[in-house]
Amino acid sequence: MDHKLSPELEELRRTVEQFAHDVVAPKIGDFYERHEFPYEIVREMGRMGLFGLPFPEEYGGMGGDYFALGVALEELARVDSSVAITLEAGVSLGAMPLHLFGTEEQKREWLPRLCSGEILGAFGLTEPDGGSDAGATRTTARLDEATNEWVINGTKCFITNSGTDITGLVTVTAVTGRKPDGRPLISSIIVPSGTPGFTVAAPYSKVGWNASDTRELSFADVRVPAANLLGELGRGYAQFLRILDEGRVAIAALGTGLAQGCVDESVAYAKERHAFGRPIGANQAIQFKIADMEMKAHTARLAWRDAASRLVAGEPFKKEAALAKLYSSTVAVDNARDATQVHGGYGFMNEYPVARMWRDAKILEIGEGTSEVQRMLIARELGLVG
């Protein structure tokens, strides 16, 4: 595998890097402290084509792939994770299910606006009584044959991008029947925002990702056309497993960006902060700590790029995606903790980016599959069953 970026991807990386430093960095701290969604930043990301990176040009996309998305996510997360997760969820969870499983009519209706950032999509999977056990879905959808509509009832929680002013749809998983052995048949259904009976709760009060949108959703006799079924009836479980496998590659890139951002901030601070008559970066203890941080970020980058390359090539990548997600989330937490230590008391002050990074890192070990779930997946891929 050649880990050197192509000229096109290097140009993308530099463009997003400049955007992150010139546009995101000066503003995002205020949005973060106000728990406010950064609409103008998101609109600019849309104008740049970031939401359309891995989608075909015929649907308004940029004709790229998941590798290109990962490059963009890493550069954004080096500066801020709220903005990065808004892009990741908008692409991997909001638009990708339509691209992979939608009918031609569904793609034509939704993808151009999703690719342009005019609207955001969300993916309603997690429920209050079913986190890692996603197969324990309790939301139901029955087909009313008289009206040819799905009638949806249930609750979803922790859903990113689901309640913004520009959210256009949420794809929800719901039980649509039972198999002969009694196990649920789970299907995916598109629910446009504003559909009667579809209620979006107030934003959560979160530890981190405070400039991103995360909500609880409830469905009370929500009716949508039968044509809003996404993919085959009863294939929703298989669909979201595919979506989560791919999403883990994107989350690994995001985690790598956060880990590298901690290095960036620590190096800059260690050069300018003086103690006992010299920069603290002249002390071997600080040098070794930052060197270890760089080692971890570099290795995480190799891991997500390996997984992304396999995905793009059409090769098996489940194990590599789980490895990359597990490792990058672990080192993101490690580097955030160490960057805070390098900064000392200032690292505990919210005006410094590392304080934001510390608050943002932990969720990476939980969202889109906990670290424990990643270890289960890796063990299964190694043939360890039981």
Catalytic residue numbers?
368
Spatial separation of the C-alpha atoms in residues 144 and 237, rounded to whole Å: 22
Coil/strand/helix, residue 203:
coil
- Angle made by CA atoms 185, 372, 235, in degrees to the nearest 5: 15
Spatial separation of the C-alpha atoms in residues 244 and 252, rounded to whole Å: 12
> Is there a contact between 117 and 72 (Cβ–Cβ < 8 Å)?
no
Spatial separation of the C-alpha atoms in residues 54 and 315, rounded to whole Å: 17
- The phi, psi pair for 81, rounded to 5°, reads -85, -25
Per the DSSP assignment, residues forming a β-bridge with 173 are 188
Q: How many angstroms separate the Cα of 29 from the Cα of each of 35, 48, 51, 53, 339?
A: 10, 22, 23, 26, 18
The tokens for 375 are: 């270890």
Provide the residue type at 236 as one letter: G
- Angle made by CA atoms 77, 83, 85, in degrees to the nearest 5: 75
Coil/strand/helix, residue 155:
strand
Q: What is the DSSP string of 263-308?
A: HHHHHHHHHH-EETTEEGGGSHHHHHHHHHHHHHHHHHHHHHHHHH
Q: What is the DSSP string of 58-85?
A: GGT--S--HHHHHHHHHHHHTT-HHHHH
> Is there a contact between 262 and 339 (Cβ–Cβ < 8 Å)?
yes
> Is there a contact between 378 and 322 (Cβ–Cβ < 8 Å)?
yes
For the chain, the 3-state helix, strand and coil shares in percent, each to the nearest 5, are 55, 15, 25
Provide the residue type at 207 as one letter: V
Query: Which residue's entry shows tokens 């002013």?
Result: 165
